Amino acid sequence: MPDTLATIVQIKKTRAFILELVKNLSTEQLNKVPTGFSNNIIWNIAHLTAAQQNLCYIRSGLPVTVEDKYFSPFLSGTKPVKFIEKEEIILIFDVLLNSIDRLATDYTNGIFVSFDPWDKRYGMKLNSIEDAVNFVPFHEGMHIGYIMALKKLV
């Protein structure tokens, strides 16, 4: 479906914007959890990959396409548990972009044949891979807001 591929392209552009937004922040700034917050900028960025993998692959009964260290520690309900060094941050940024390229390829190749419907807490019901892909920009937009708020405090 061309509309879904167009959405995937838009997600990649949004992710490139996020990386541009944080490119001048230090490793310490990316890791800082300001008072009143439960996470930091690098957690939010890694969470985008984890959430997309969960929505698109796990809900479709498929294995995630990223290493578990970029998935499990960043799922909803988790918090930063350690300081993430610069080398690992670079890898998180790469995974953020590469995972979307992989999603486009996998979607084009038709690997998403089933989907476990999901009622999201935002009043949206996801019934298909297309619904999941279309939900990703909404979710990532929320996290851009969190990242921008965190950026002002670090």
Residues in the chain: 154
Q: Above 70 in pLDDT, residue 136? A: yes
Report the SS3 class of residue 42. helix
Q: Which pLDDT band, with edges at 50, 70 and 90, does 119 fall under?
A: confident
Dihedral in degrees, nearest 10, Cα atoms 142, 143, 149, 154: 180
Q: Above 60 in pLDDT, residue 2? A: no
Assigned CATH class of 2-153:
mainly alpha
Mean pLDDT of 18-43: 97
Q: Measuring CA to CA, which residue among 136, 151, 149, 137 is closest to residue 20?
A: 151
Q: Measuring CA to CA, which residue among 140, 148, 150 is closest to residue 14?
A: 140
C-alpha distance from residue 113 to each of 31, 79, 81, 132, 134 (Å)? 38, 32, 35, 13, 17
Domain assignments of the chain as residue spans, ordered by start? 2-153
Q: Are 50 and 71 in contact (CB under 8 A)?
A: yes
pLDDT in tens, 56-106: 999 999 999 999 999 999 999 999 999 999 999 999 999 999 999 999 999
Q: Are 19 and 40 in contact (CB under 8 A)?
A: no
Q: Which pLDDT band, with edges at 50, 70 and 90, does 26 fall under?
A: very high
